[in-house]
Structure 1
Amino acid sequence: MTRVGFLYPGHSAESDYKAYEGLLGGGVELPVVHTLMREDAHRVDALLDIGGEDVLAEGAREAAALGVDATVWACTSGSFVYGPEGSLRQVEWVRRAAGTPASSTSWAFVHALVGLRVSRVAVAATYPEDVAGRFVGFLAAAGVEVVSLASHGIATAAEVAHLDPDEVVDFVISNDHPRAGAVLVPDTALHSAHLIEPLEALLGKTVLTANQVSVWEGLRLAGDARPRANGPGRLFRTGAAEVASMLPQV
């Protein structure tokens, strides 16, 4: 049994992790530890607060008590808002406190793109424009070219969690770009586990969502990177066997 722990701020789309347990077909447990969210806001100061060392260390210690094999800070905006160097420090905070391999959702996006050999993407972000722009900056620093950016302008995780699935599908497919090798949909507050296969079928290309890459990254770090014939998504069908030697140390 592979067990990956996820540090998840507040309550919004954490049910995605239980959905992934089912989609991955057994042999995987994905427990969620809810970390402190003093304010639910897609605003830089609030995002810096939810990703602070005290918050992450407390959550990581709780995850360690569950006997996890790897630990992921499952918040895109709460990691990329720290920038590349700051988000690596976050990963180190989690690694030290949990005593396991660790990563974050923002780095999971980068690592997934490395594994898929995709360097040019479109981003369909739920965030306000200024926050979405920071994700673009994070990706650029990692060598990823963003050819288009769409911002939904949603102010809170709670609002994102209640988006209608049809609205999500429309938003993503309408913000693809012909030069993009993949469409990235950041925000772990977005329910997406059951949307990836339909989205990839409609677009004819890879779609990466925040909870999806978080799960994939955690399994990779736990040593369970084998391709899975049933997905969900091209990312899981591809696996991650060649990723580790290509990545910065996180």
Structure 2
Amino acid sequence: MLTFDLLYPTPESGEDDFIELARRADPAALVRPIYFPWPDGVDDLADLPTSERYDAVRCLGSETHLRASIPPLIAKDARPDATIFGVTSASFLQGPEGVAQQLDTLAGITGTPVTSTTAAFQRALGHLGISRVSLASIYHRDGS
């Protein structure tokens, strides 16, 4: 059975969708959530003004934060087949080049192939020949 580690910051906020989808795949796969912390000072995004949410999410996916928070959580004796960064908001903020850099950083940290929800969206759009999309987001364009 293929095994995937799912890097996810907030328990009980949607990761069950990844787990269920993998269970239904043929052949079935195992998804193991690995909860990594939000940056210091961030307890609940809902309590932050919008501009601070934007900064918190940007920091969550930053190379500095990933390198500091992920390594202690990786099980050295139970390496997965691949790792998923399941935080779309923290992976699209730096544009396509930022997505690639983030995946490279995470591959270096985990020692596994890595994908993210944003990378999967990009790949699917490319496969379908779609070059323009509409996006709805809780984040304001100007970060406020």
Taking structure 2 as the reference length, the TM-score comes to: 0.75
Q: Give the AA of the match of 1:88.
A: A
Q: Given the alignment of the two structures, is residue 127 of structure 1 paired with residue 138 of structure 2, yes or no? A: yes
Q: How many residues align?
A: 131
Percentage identity across aligned positions? Answer: 31
- Structure 2 residue ranges without an equivalent (≥5): none
Instruction: Say if 1:73 and 1:14 are closer, same or farther in 2 by CA, change over 3 A.
Output: same
Native 8 Å contact 2:23 2:30 kept in 1:
no
Q: Give the AA of the match of 2:140.
A: E
> Does the residue aligned with 1:112 lie in a helix, a strand or coil?
helix
Q: Given the alignment of the two structures, is residue 91 of structure 1 paired with residue 118 of structure 2, yes or no? A: no
- 2:81 aligned to which of 69, 75, 84: 69
Native 8 Å contact 1:70 1:102 kept in 2:
yes
> Does the residue aligned with 1:20 lie in a helix, a strand or coil?
helix
Q: Given the alignment of the two structures, is residue 37 of structure 1 paired with residue 38 of structure 2, yes or no? A: yes
Query: Residue 56 of structure 2 corresponds to which residue in structure 1?
Result: 46
CA distance in 2, matches of 1:50, 1:16: 21
Q: Given the alignment of the two structures, is residue 21 of structure 1 paired with residue 31 of structure 2, yes or no? A: no
Aligned-CA RMSD value? 2.5
Q: Give the AA of the match of 2:30.
A: E
CA distance in 2, matches of 1:103, 1:111: 10
Determine which structure has greater relative contact order: mean sequence separation of CA pairs < 8 Å that are 6+ residues apart, divided by chain length: 2
CA distance in 2, matches of 1:94, 1:82: 15
- Structure 1 residue ranges without an equivalent (≥5): 135-250
Native 8 Å contact 2:54 2:139 kept in 1:
no
Cα deviation 1:129-181 (Å, max 9, x = unaligned): 327xx9xxxxxxxxxxxxxxxxxxxxxxxxxxxxxxxxxxxxxxxxxxxxxxx
Native 8 Å contact 1:6 1:63 kept in 2:
no
What are the within-5 Å matches in structure 2 for residues 1-250 of structure 1? Answer: 1-11=1-11, 12-38=13-39, 39=42, 40-41=44-45, 43-57=53-67, 58-59=69-70, 62-63=73-74, 65=76, 66-123=78-135, 125-130=136-141
